[in-house]
Amino acid sequence: MGTRVAARQVLRWTVMKAAVFSPLRCGTCPLQPLRTGCRSLCSSQNTNRASHQSHGLRLQPGDPELSLLSLLDMGFTDSQAQRIYEDTSKLRGGSAACKHALSTLTALFVLGLNPSSVLKLLEKCPELYTVRESLLQQRIGNLRKLGLVEGSLQRVVSHFPQIITVPVKTVKSMVMFLREKCLFTVQQVTDILRDTPAVVLENTDKLEYKFQYVYFRMGVKQAEMVKSRLFRYTLDEVRSRHSFMERRGLYQTPDKKGQTIIINPKLDSILNVDQDTFLTDVAKASAEEYEVFRRLLAREWQEEERLHGTVEADSDDDDEVEEDEEDEETRGKGGYRKKRK
């Protein structure tokens, strides 16, 4: 229903644009077959212009595509149209940038979003103003191919509009990583994109480390990761809560057969709750205890990173010493051969 309304708005605006900005004019009114139609159009046009001028903005004759009139015809309110008009007027690139902005608005309406949603989306991600329509359509089409159906697609774009600024190649690469490195199913990947679309911008090395920590250290399988929306949380958040539970004897790493002596709480109950609920219902601890533990844990991590850096540095030094010894040996052999000659 929303798509039909949006399409009707865009069609109406297109027709109005063709009529209002026709090169054939009768004074300030375009030529029409019927005199009455001309009067009606002139009257409404003059009223709109007067309204626009009362806002302190005027229609730009050289840029009819993004005038206040066209924005109002798309369904925006006066204040919304003025805000978009001001934002687009600041874009670099002149008329070319304005054409991209126009195509962006059209694509978002065709997607089924209403004017208020479009405005909020553009305020979150103004970069969309400068994206070509062909690229927007490709990216939206790719998300559909990945299983984001109507309803889910609109919610994802509204929540995280940056996803349609990301190249198709980047999204496909992340999907391939989740399928091959983390062994998620096709449906699980679709669920991850729907619930955590920002995952497409994450570093794959860090993502893999987080996955391996939860899979091997916590013994959690892919289905439970998806259900708990694992990739919404940072590695530090995951490790802090898990380590706290583990050291209180409330969580145990499963053995090779996947068995534990105690019953571990579900990942969803550890992560997908606020801190107060986690401490009260899951960890059975006070906020003060958890805060002290987190500070101590942060020191442990810093020490581990420092030692890890030292070990790497020592390893590099050893390699250099070996290379020096090889060079000396080679030079020695060369010198010995020279003397023999």
Question: Which whole number is the average pLDDT over 180-198?
Answer: 97
* Range with lowest mean pLDDT among 3-12, 192-201, 329-338: 329-338
Average pLDDT of the chain is 79
Centre a 10 Å sphere on the Cβ of residue 37 and count the other Cβ atoms it contains: 13
Select the more confidently predicted residue: 170 or 130: 170
pLDDT in tens, 134-164: 999 999 999 999 999 999 999 999 999 999 9
Sequence-separated contacts (24+) of 123-128 with Cβ below 8 Å: 124/161, 125/161, 125/162, 125/165, 126/87, 127/162, 127/165, 128/104, 128/161, 128/164, 128/165
Residue 313 is predicted with a pLDDT of: 52
CA dihedral angle for residue 73, residue 78, residue 83, residue 84, rounded to 10 degrees: 0
The model's confidence at residue 315, banded by pLDDT at 50, 70 and 90, is low
Centre a 10 Å sphere on the Cβ of residue 96 and count the other Cβ atoms it contains: 12
Select the more confidently predicted residue: 325 or 53: 325
> Could you tell me if 178 and 192 are in contact, meaning their C-beta atoms sit under 8 angstroms apart?
yes
Residue 135 is predicted with a pLDDT of: 94
Query: 3-state SS of the chain: helix, strand, coil percent to 5?
Result: 75, 0, 25
Residue 53 is predicted with a pLDDT of: 39
The model's confidence at residue 4, banded by pLDDT at 50, 70 and 90, is low
Q: Which residues contact 52 (CB under 8 A, 6 or more apart)?
A: 58, 59, 67, 68, 69
Select the more confidently predicted residue: 67 or 281: 281
> Could you tell me if 297 and 243 are in contact, meaning their C-beta atoms sit under 8 angstroms apart?
yes
> Could you tell me if 140 and 40 are in contact, meaning their C-beta atoms sit under 8 angstroms apart?
no
